[in-house]
Amino acid sequence: MGRDYEEPLDEGHWGAETVENALRLPPEWVSAAGIDDLEELLEPGPGEFPQEAPPPWEHPVEPWLRRERLPHIWCPGCGIGIAVGAFVRALEEAELDPDRLAVVSGIGCTGRVAGYMRCDSFHTTHGRALPFALGLHLGNPALKVVVFSGDGDLVAIGGNHLIHAARRNADLTVFCVNNFTYGMTGGQAGPTTQEGARTSTTPYGGVERPFNLPALAAAAGATYVARWTVLDLGRLRRSMVEALRHSGFSFVEIVSPCPVYYGRKNRLGEAVDELRHYQENMVVDNLASLTALDLALGGQIIVGKFVDIERPTYEELLHGRLVERASERLARR
């Protein structure tokens, strides 16, 4: 499948706005015009064809999304959009105030999520979503700050930030889409790539042992840790609500297909075949030992909520210490 939508926008490129306008034209105009003519047709100034007002919100989750940025960039069958669907429903259910919500992403296909969210959203540099998010939250503790990014972004280049944010129990929520590869750059191997998997950089099958993400997050100090797949939307959504309401570092791994690169190279079939594999091999076990959560290629997928504990957050401790120091100084005057 070509990824020509990643080409830079040039003059001849149909931007989201143009496509949206085209979709609003009466269908008989579209069929009569053909693509090239239609593009010309869209060029003229106002008044030459009816400019209708955008349709009112039609779907309950649309207010959370930047409609004007659609169509999105994800390939057919990609799981990222499903994860976003669960996320926006979780935001609704958690009754979060969009004016007090910030979504931060790094770089990658998943990293594009922030750009589609209608709230204060930040598409940051590769691997740096977490330090950006922590700075944001320290600067404005009234915000709910969510990091939504990919396995490569959060665990490869950003791995250091992940373990330290978890160690501190920073009051952040992290949703990590794990498709076992660097999707955006052509399906290279990363730290979650399964042993033996073929990727563009491991044509004979990888030999590295991958990270077990729930075990990594929990060992580093995360106080809420869960794993679900994009097939199991009810559980994923409910867990997202819990993670959003959790005080402290919450980490949810979302196992998701990248049919275009990882799926194709490993002969996993179409996206729907991967989802079928999830259905047939998924075991819900909240009490599973963290060390049993390795994900072998074609093997069992243990999902569940593995950690849900309370511990003072970094922000609370820091704030408490500052108040303590200030009171001591005042008392000495």
Ligand X SMILES: Cc1ncc(C[n+]2csc(CCOP(=O)(O)OP(=O)(O)O)c2C)c(N)n1
Taken in order 149, 155, 161, 162, the sign of the CA dihedral is positive
**By the rule CB under 6 A, 255 interacts with ligand SF4:** no
Could you tell me if 144 and 120 are in contact, meaning their C-beta atoms sit under 8 angstroms apart?
no
Could you tell me if 187 and 181 are in contact, meaning their C-beta atoms sit under 8 angstroms apart?
yes
Residues in 178-197 that interact with ligand SF4 by CB under 6 A: 179, 183-184
Cβ 84 to ligand X shortest distance, Å: 12
Q: Which does 126 bind (CB under 5 to 8 A by kind): Mg ion, ligand SF4, ligand X, none?
A: ligand X
Residue 315's identity, in one-letter code, is E
Residue 302's identity, in one-letter code, is I
Cβ 115 to ligand X shortest distance, Å: 13
Residue of minimal CB distance from ligand SF4? Answer: 183
**Of 41-49, 74-82, 89-97, 312-320: span binding ligand SF4 (CB under 6 A):** 74-82
**By the rule CB under 5 A, 151 interacts with Mg ion:** yes
**Of 28-36, 38-46, 183-191, 305-313: span binding Mg ion (CB under 5 A):** 183-191
**Of 127-135, 157-165, 257-265, 317-325: span binding ligand SF4 (CB under 6 A):** 257-265
Task: Centre a 10 Å sphere on the Cβ of residue 3 and count the other Cβ atoms it contains.
Answer: 14
Spatial distance between the Cα atoms of 68 and 71, rounded to a whole number of angstroms = 8
Pick from 126, 19, 23, 120: nearest CA to 69: 19
Nearer to ligand SF4, 73 or 290 (CB): 73
Q: Which does 131 bind (CB under 5 to 8 A by kind): Mg ion, ligand X, ligand SF4, none?
A: none
Calculate ∠ Cα 102-108-114, nearest 5°: 20
Cβ 260 to Mg ion shortest distance, Å: 12
Could you tell me if 183 and 144 are in contact, meaning their C-beta atoms sit under 8 angstroms apart?
no
Residue of minimal CB distance from Mg ion? Answer: 150
The secondary element (H helix, E strand) that includes residue 203 is: none
Q: Which does 214 bind (CB under 5 to 8 A by kind): ligand X, ligand SF4, Mg ion, none?
A: none
Identify the three-state secondary structure at position 195: coil
Cβ 156 to Mg ion shortest distance, Å: 9
Nearer to ligand SF4, 80 or 217 (CB): 80
**By the rule CB under 6 A, 116 interacts with ligand SF4:** no
Q: Residues interacting with ligand X, by CB under 6 A?
A: 107-110, 126, 149-153, 177, 179, 181-185
Task: Establish whether the linkage from the previous residue to 71 is cis, with ω within 30° of 0.
Answer: yes
Q: Which does 74 bind (CB under 5 to 8 A by kind): ligand X, Mg ion, ligand SF4, none?
A: ligand SF4
Cβ 7 to ligand SF4 shortest distance, Å: 15
Q: Which of 229-255 are b and which e, b meaning 16 or more Cβ less than 10 Å from the residue's Cβ?
A: bbbbeebbbbbbbbbbbbebbbbbbbb
The secondary element (H helix, E strand) that includes residue 307 is: strand 301-308
Cβ 9 to ligand X shortest distance, Å: 18
Nearer to ligand X, 123 or 311 (CB): 123
Calculate the alpha carbon distances from 75 to 63, 147, 195, 291 in Å.
23, 22, 25, 33
Q: Which of 281-291 are b and which e, b meaning 16 or more Cβ less than 10 Å from the residue's Cβ?
A: ebeeeeebebe
Q: Which residues bind ligand SF4 (CB under 6 A)?
A: 74-75, 78, 80, 109, 179, 183-184, 258-261
